[in-house]
Structures are given as C-alpha cells and as structure tokens.
Amino acid sequence: MNLFNLRRSPPSLDDLAVDDHLPSKGDNLSSECLMPSVDRPKQIFVRGQGSWLWDSDQRAYLDFTQGGGANSLGHSPSALVNALAAQARLLINPGFGLHNRGMLNLAQRLCASTGSDQAYLLNSGSEACEAAIKLARKWGQRHRGGASRIIVANNGCHGRSLATISASDSASLINRFEPQLPGFSHVPFNDLAALHAAVDARTVAIMLEPIQSEAGVIPATVQYLKGVERLCRELGILLILDEVQTGVGRCGTLLAEQSYGVQADIVVLGKGLGGGVPLAALLARGKACCFDVGELTGTHHGNALMTAAGLAVLDSVQDKAFLEHVGETGQHLHEGLARLAHRYGHGEIRGQGLLWGLTLSDDSADAVVKAALYEGLLINAPQPDCLRFTPALTVSKANIDEMLLRLARAFSRVRTAQLQCRKGIAV
C-alpha cells in the first residue's frame, strides 16, 4: 500500500472552514433550473429591512452590498413600499405609447435637479449605457460627419449587453461573445495625454465612469476629469459620464460630476435611482439632445410603477440633511476601514461618500467574502485583491461599527486559515 496516496489534499483558502449554511430542510427550492449566472451562496433570502437581510432559517445578515448599491434607501424602506403600493392600486403600466404622470414627473424632476434638458427612462444601467452609445452615434451622424468611435477607459465597465461589453474592459468576458461591436478605443484611465492622443476625426465621444467601481473603486482625479471635459469642448466631441454606480447620492452629491465640478453632455443613471426596482435614466444636455420619434422604445420604459419608485427615491435623496448624512457616515466608514487596514496590514482605501474599496495585501478577497458570510456580513469583491462596500445610503454609524466588528472577525478567520495553509495543516 502506498501511504502517500492516503494523504489529505493540500490545504487551500478555498476550503475555509466557514460552514457555509445550507437552506432550511423545509425549503425544497433548488437552483438547478437557473441558467448559470454568478456564484451565489446557498442561502435563500426571504426578507429585508434597512441594512439587514434574513434567510429562510431566519439568520440575520448585515448587508453592505445592497444589490450592488441598487437599494439606495436600504431593504423595503417605508417610503418606497408605500409609493409602490399606492401606485399599484391605481395604475401599473398603461403602455409605452401613452403618457403617465410618473413618467412626466420623474423626467421633469431629473432635468430640473441635474441641469439637463431631456430625460429618457429605461430598465437598467446596461440598457441606459447602450442608449447613450446610440445617442452619441446619432449626434455624430448629424454634427460630426458620421463619426462614431467612442473612447473608453481600460478596466471600465458599462454593462453586460453586447454593445456595453464591447465598451467595457472586463478580462473575464473578453473573447466569449465574439465578434464584439466595433467602434471603441480603450486608453489608460487617469491618463489625459493618452486620451488626447487617441482622438481623431472618427471620434464622436469619450465615455467614462467618475469612479471605476468594478475595477476596484478607482476614482478619476479632479485634474483628469476636468481635463477631459476641457478636451471635449475644445475638440467638439461629446462627454458621456456613466453614473450608474456613482449617481443618486452615492458619492454625497446627487451626481458625482457635481463633486468634480464638471458637466457632461450625456449622463447615465441606474441602480440607486429605483431604490431596488428596475429603473434607469438617460440624461442629455444642449446639443446632445438629438433623438427623434421611434428611435427609443421599450415595453416597460417609464411605466407608472417604476417611476413611482424613482420619485420616492428622489424625494429622500434631494433632502439636504440626507446628503449630509451620506457624507458623515461615509467618513465614518472610511475611518473605520482605514483602522482595520492598518491592523491587518492591508492596502489603501479608495472611494467617496458611501462607495469604498479596500485593497488587500494579497488575492484573498473571495476568501474574506466567504468568511464574512459566516460572520453574518454581506460584502463584495470586484477584484481578487479588493473588497467593495456599498451600504444603504441610510446606513447608521451603529451599523457601520457592527460591520467593522464582523469584518475584523472575517479577517482573523482568513489569517488563521492562511497560517494553517503555510504549515500544511488541512483546514
């Protein structure tokens, strides 16, 4: 007998002893009929309130992902629940070809509050980014001799439709859906000289995220974004800002562009605008307003139920005290993460408002996410060495302090597993 064959397999952080909970024995639901999408934990979540979620076994989890930042007011906030219930009793979807009050009110509110001239309401950020691409190319046909090329940044992410994948730079998706849509040029982020060098007669627009969230929460510098705006004005091309992740108060102002002191020709909103329901918006200013009848349609675009949600979110976010709260709690979260990073030897903290990324000292982000789940904490890892925090904009300092305690326990759990791995002890 070969005793070497009886050895346990080498330990790995993938085998963290976090006792990943199974769904309740009384819950017979299975994911077998779902097409593959993302790796989800086994828990089945059944209710939420504010910053908390409960699974089918009634275990509570502190949620610092909030649907990737979509739940801007937290889980099931009364303002949103009441608005949806009241609207559902009256009218849900009269049809795309008819006006409804919510559609008109929300478009007017968005334009007035952002200094935009026109707004169009859609279902998702990806869809809104694709509409922005269409709008820029339509403008290029009308005003720039048919120019259609759009300059985008390396490591950017603008969605998962075929067009927005082509506009993005996600290594995990490259070459999966070839041929990709042509007409996009990628340049380094925060490099104004490289961007300027990429502009030619075929260029119609520059499309950027103020903060690259999926890349690991990497903010544009003020000098860079102001330089991009100036370059677009001088060269007569459009500036598109993708604020799907950063808009609707996430960065402490209604739009992140306001904190940078710039103004784009086209702005894309999503995620937090609906407070958790599918809602996005395309905003256009001045010369960029060039869509004609029949060029934008969608069965659920601007329906009465979703726009009621958007109006409820704006009612909250446009309150001055609300944005002051985002600023205060965002600073509290930043300071707490900085203390933890120092204690455990991790890297820098990047972000603004209530959008923060913590760079780790190694590629253990997925292991930390698993350990945090065991501790009753939901966080996200956009990169192997980065954790991302997008809590509800209504999060309390007490919730933040509790999150930091649970995150510290997760860090300790991962560190213990790493030491055991180095010693060759199976975990």
What CATH number is associated with residue 376? 3.90.1150.10
Measured between alpha carbons, how far is 221 from 245 in angstroms, rounded to an integer? 17
Based on the domain organization, do 336 and 291 belong to the same domain?
no
Q: Are residues 279 and 193 in the same domain?
A: yes
Query: Total structural domains in the chain?
Result: 2
What is the full per-residue pLDDT of the chain (427 aa) written as tens digits?
443 343 434 445 565 544 544 445 557 787 788 888 788 888 899 999 999 999 999 999 999 999 999 999 999 999 999 999 999 999 999 998 999 999 999 999 999 999 999 999 999 999 999 999 999 999 999 999 999 999 999 999 998 888 888 888 855 555 567 787 888 999 999 999 999 999 999 999 999 999 999 999 999 999 999 999 999 999 999 999 999 999 999 999 999 999 999 999 999 999 999 999 999 999 999 999 999 998 999 999 999 999 999 999 999 999 989 999 999 999 999 999 999 999 999 999 999 999 999 999 999 999 999 999 999 999 999 999 999 999 999 999 999 999 999 999 999 999 998 888 777 654 4
Residues 305 and 367 in one domain: no
Residues 88 and 201 both lie in one domain: yes
As a whole number of angstroms, the distance between CA 68 and CA 382 comes to 10
What is the DSSP annotation of 33-88? TSPP-S---S--EEEEEBTEEEETT--EEEESSHHHHT-TT-BS-HHHHHHHHHHH
Is 5 domain-assigned? no
Determine the pLDDT at residue 216: 94
CATH assignment of the domain containing 125: 3.40.640.10
Q: Is residue 146 part of a domain?
A: yes
**DSSP H or E stretch at residue 215:** none
Q: Is there a single domain that holds both residue 184 and residue 44?
A: no
CB atoms within 10 A of CB 213: 27
Final residue of a domain: which of 302, 318, 334? 318
Please enumerate in sequence order all residues whose Cβ is within 8 A of that of 61, keeping only pairs 6 or more positions apart, or say none.
43, 45, 52, 53, 54, 55, 373, 376, 377, 378
Q: Do 330 and 293 lie in a common domain?
A: no
Is 300 inside any structural domain? yes
Asked if the structure places residue 280 within a domain, the reply is yes
If asked whether residues 48 and 185 sit together in one domain, one would say: no
Q: Are residues 136 and 234 in the same domain?
A: yes
**pLDDT for 338:** 97
Distance set, CA 165 to CA 127, 137, 175 (Å): 11, 17, 10
Taking the model in full, what pTM does it have?
Answer: 0.91
Same domain, 139 and 191: yes
- Residue 397: give the domain boundaries: 13-75+320-423
Q: What is the pLDDT of residue 286?
A: 96
Q: What is the DSSP letter of 117?
A: S
Same domain as 301, residue 337: no
pLDDT at 72: 97
Q: Based on the fold, state whether residues 31 and 122 are members of the same structural domain.
A: no
3-class DSSP state of 306:
helix
Whether 1 maps to a domain, the answer reads no
Task: Tell which of 318, 345, 374 closes a domain.
Answer: 318
Q: 4 lies in a domain?
A: no
Q: Is residue 7 part of a domain?
A: no
Respond yes or no on whether the N-terminal peptide bond of residue 36 is cis (omega within 30° of 0): no
Among residues 273, 296, 318, the one where a domain terminates is 318
If asked whether residues 307 and 334 sit together in one domain, one would say: no
List the one residue out of 213, 189, 260 whose CA is nearest residue 389. 213
